Chain A
Amino acid sequence: MDTPLAIRARGITKCFGDVVALDGVDLDVARGQIHGLVGPNGAGKTTLLGLLLGLAVADSGRLDILGTPVGRALSAPDGVAGFVDGPGLYPSLSARRNLAALAALHGRDVRAAGIDDVLDQVGLTDVADDRTRGFSLGMRQRLGLAAALLTEPRLLVLDEPANGLDPAGKRHVHGVLSRLAAGGTSIVLSSHRMDDLEALCSEVTILSTGRVVFSGPLGKLAAENRELDYRLRTSDPRAALRLAADTDGIRTGDTADAAHGVEAGQDGAVLVVRARVPAVDELVRRLVLAGIAVRELAPVVSPLEAAFLALTEVREDGR
């Protein structure tokens, strides 16, 4: 039996006048999964997040959220929280009063709503009684996350939650999201920051011009997509370069662009090769058989970013 789904979308289409924002989008998000949503500007991410949050209804298609079919009315099922285009905060209220008003709105006892706890989780305890008028973007993002946590969501929809975050704030947010997912909350995360998505998400969906061009585990991106550039540091760079040149599916500096080949690294030469994953695996096997130690092997550009650029560029070029 498959994992129960928090979101199941089939053939979702949404138009604004003549503009097709979403064109037959399918999306599956499992319970307890952090799912990344990636796409260039205008790809339809915000529209899709808006549908998940109940801010709009699809023109056609079927959308089940937390097991409940979404109807034609503007409202999401209970248990969904989050924000699109930044959190909504009232600047004349303090952080604590923003959360207290929200807790009261949901009919919860303000004293027992866990306001201090969520403020602590996002690292805003010190500024809890300050008016949010003076909050930085990162603080607003964290308070928006705290507001979402307050409702104990089972599906959290976040649009660019890492915008404006300093390293400490980012650590807070990553920690909160990881704990939520571990606790069974599904999270849909839209971001342009690939490092955040790679650090947090188990699966991603790439949207381009309103259509899904990839959806699945991050690892599958590297496997099923095109060649990537890899940085390879070994104990014998020149021998490694010869082996790479002899390995099928590996391109080095003389066959790829000028950046490929042997480079001087900080503590020795670094080889940059372009290949698909199976070819890289074969190269590593040969290096080991040749007694050459592999000290570092990593993609120059992350698989997600490479796939994003490749998939969306191809699609946009082909329009």
Chain B
Amino acid sequence: MTLTVADHRASAARTVSVARAYRFELVKLFSSWRVRLLVLACWIVPALFVAAVSQQSSLPVDTLFGRWMHATGWAGPLVTLGFSGAWALPLLTSVVAGDVFASEDRLGTWRHLLVAVRSPRRIFTAKALASLTAILLLVVGLVASSTVGGIVAVGNQPLVGLDGHTLAPSDAAGKVLLAWVCVLAPTLALAAIGLLGSVALGRSPMGLLLPVLVALAMQLAQMLPLPVAVRLALPGYAFLAWNGLFTDPTQLGPLLIGIAVALVWAVTATALAYLLFLRRDFTNLNDDGSGCRAVTAGVLPLAGLLAVTVAVVATATPATGSGIEQAKVQRSLATAFAHLYRLQAEELHRPAVTEAQLRATAACTKGSVAVGAHGPGNDWRCVVSWHLPDVQATGTAVYQLDVAADGRFVADGDGPKEVNGYFLLRAPTGDAPNPLWQFDGNVELLAATPKG
């Protein structure tokens, strides 16, 4: 008869703690030249880019706040944020989160890791936390580097908001930081999609590319004339909605919805990745976890989540259609004009005037539609009217508006020349940029149409 004797040292399986597994993952992650290169790039390139662009005569006016890069250092991190939301953050999440599981498949190290850690749950947690740490380090690098570059190259001047109001440097600093914090939510959603792709697609390059493809698809969707409920239900909407922080009052509704949707996506995609990972068979060397079932188990729940979020947003919010309506366009344009008029008056050393005194209004048409115009397009034409104290006549200026589907618009002055027809002002101190010539604005998609 054989006897199984319990060794006093082998009473139970001693699993590795999450903290130690997390450190192990960090060591591996940061030993990769790709990640090291990304860290260096994120901490150096934005500063160089912002400093270089700020010194050029031609500014990136297509990017939000790009036209203010000569005026304040705080425009630099916002330009970087706009670019990052479109390209940098999806790429960073791809390289880090999209590869964190697939790299073990590539190296054939899963079994080694499982034998060492003894808990797939802890492995998953450690990998997810390590990816999160690396992504945060990269994002902090982007913020710090672009801010330092802007402040050093241009200076700590006030920032002109998206509705033309001026933010003091301390307010600008707070809002810039807040804007970057807000985009962490969609970044987390992309990172979670990256984890899911990495688990579900294994060695396939599609796993690595998934966050980029999803981000690209979301960008394309944002360019289409989709109903506002669908737009807000996309996990990447907060990459655009941070714009609302730079208006007065802040457009918090879309931003909060965007953040909430992104966080729900982050949690759901991470949970799906976790479940798929736990179901994986690690004894079969040829099984890298990919397969129709794994892909289906990842894609179908996310498609369902999109449908649910669209339904919830459509039910819970007042906006319908594109969210771009004539009255809202007129209100946004008049508000921005009034704020910027004050700025122009200050540059020209004219008597100070308040927005209330100006009583600026706008009358817009879209193409041939004079009443009830709505929707995005570059055929908006508006006439802005304003009053000056002790002046009987009403001032008017014409703008051509290019309103994008996401609510952002560019107002292009069309005369008179003295007000908005030329890009320079003849100020007492010399030529200065004309703030009323061309400016960016934002139509809040969710805001209810004002009556009257």
Contact = CB atoms under 8 A, between A and B. Distances in A.
Contacts of B33: 92
A53 B111 contact: yes
Interface string B283-310: 1110000000000000000000000000
A5 B284 contact: no
Contacts of B28: 90, 92-93, 101
A75 B23 contact: no
A46 B2 CA distance: 26
Interface string B109-133: 1111111111110000000000000
A88 B11 contact: no
B32 interface: yes
Interface string B251-285: 00000000000000000000000000000011111
Contact of B3 (A1, A46, A56): A1
A102 B32 CA distance: 17
Interface stretch (A60-68, A236-244, A269-277, A300-308): A60-68
Interface string B4-32: 11110111111111001101100110011
A102 B15 CA distance: 13
B107 A4 contact: no
Given A2-B2, A67-B10, A79-B10, A102 B116 contact: yes
A154 B283 contact: no
A314 interface: no
A133 B286 CA distance: 22
Contacts of B11: 68, 78
A85 interface: yes
A82 interface: yes
Contacts of B119: 74-75
B108 interface: yes
A77 B13 contact: yes
A28 interface: yes
Interface in A129-169: 144, 147, 154
B27 A93 contact: yes
Contacts of B316: none
B352 interface: no
A17 to B, nearest CB: 10
A256 interface: no
A65 B16 CA distance: 19
B283 A55 contact: yes
Interface residues of B, number: 44
Nearest to A52: B115
B10 A68 contact: yes
**Which label, helix, strand, loop or mixed, suits the secondary structure of the A interface?**
loop
Contacts of A51: 283
A36 interface: no
A39 interface: no
A106 interface: yes
Contacts of A154: 7, 9-10
Interface string A5-25: 100100000001000000000
B4 to A, nearest CB: 5
B10 A77 contact: yes
A74 B120 contact: yes
Please classify the interface of chain B as helix (H, G, I), strand (E, B), loop, or mixed, using the class held by over half of its residues.
loop
A1 B111 CA distance: 36
Contact of A106 (B31, B108, B111, B116): B116
Contact of A81 (B14, B115, B120): B115
B4 A78 contact: no
B234 to A, nearest CB: 36
Contacts of A144: 112
A250 interface: no
B10 A66 contact: yes
Given A78-B13, A91-B107, A67 B7 contact: yes
B9 A79 contact: yes
B118 A76 contact: yes
Nearest to B30: A92
B391 interface: no
B20 A89 contact: no
A10 to B, nearest CB: 10
B1 interface: yes
Nearest to B26: A101
Nearest to B16: A105
Given A64-B4, A90-B31, A105 B117 contact: yes
B282 A50 contact: yes
A279 to B, nearest CB: 34
A78 B3 contact: no
Nearest to A105: B24
B135 to A, nearest CB: 19
A76 B115 contact: yes
Given A1-B3, A76-B118, A104-B24, A55 B111 contact: yes
B282 A56 contact: yes
Nearest to B104: A88
Given A55-B115, A101-B28, A154-B9, A86 B281 contact: no
A210 interface: no
A261 interface: no
Query: Which of B15, B27, B113 is packed against the most chain A CB atoms within 10 Å?
Result: B27
Contacts of B15: 75
B2 A54 contact: no
Interface of B: 1-7, 9-17, 20-21, 23-24, 27-28, 31-33, 107-120, 281-285
25 contacts: A2-B3, A5-B2, A28-B2, A50-B111, A50-B282, A54-B114, A55-B114, A55-B282, A55-B283, A66-B7, A67-B6, A67-B7, A68-B12, A74-B114, A78-B11, A79-B10, A81-B115, A84-B283, A85-B108, A88-B111, A92-B31, A93-B27, A105-B21, A106-B16, A107-B16
Interface of A: 1-2, 4-5, 8, 16, 28, 46-47, 50-51, 53-56, 64-68, 74-93, 97, 101-102, 104-107, 144, 147, 154
Given A51-B283, A55-B114, A77-B13, 17 more contacts: A2-B1, A4-B4, A53-B114, A53-B115, A55-B282, A66-B10, A67-B4, A67-B5, A68-B13, A77-B12, A78-B14, A84-B111, A86-B108, A88-B110, A93-B31, A104-B23, A107-B20
Across the A-B interface, the 3 shortest Cβ-Cβ residue pairs: A88-B112, A67-B6, A88-B109
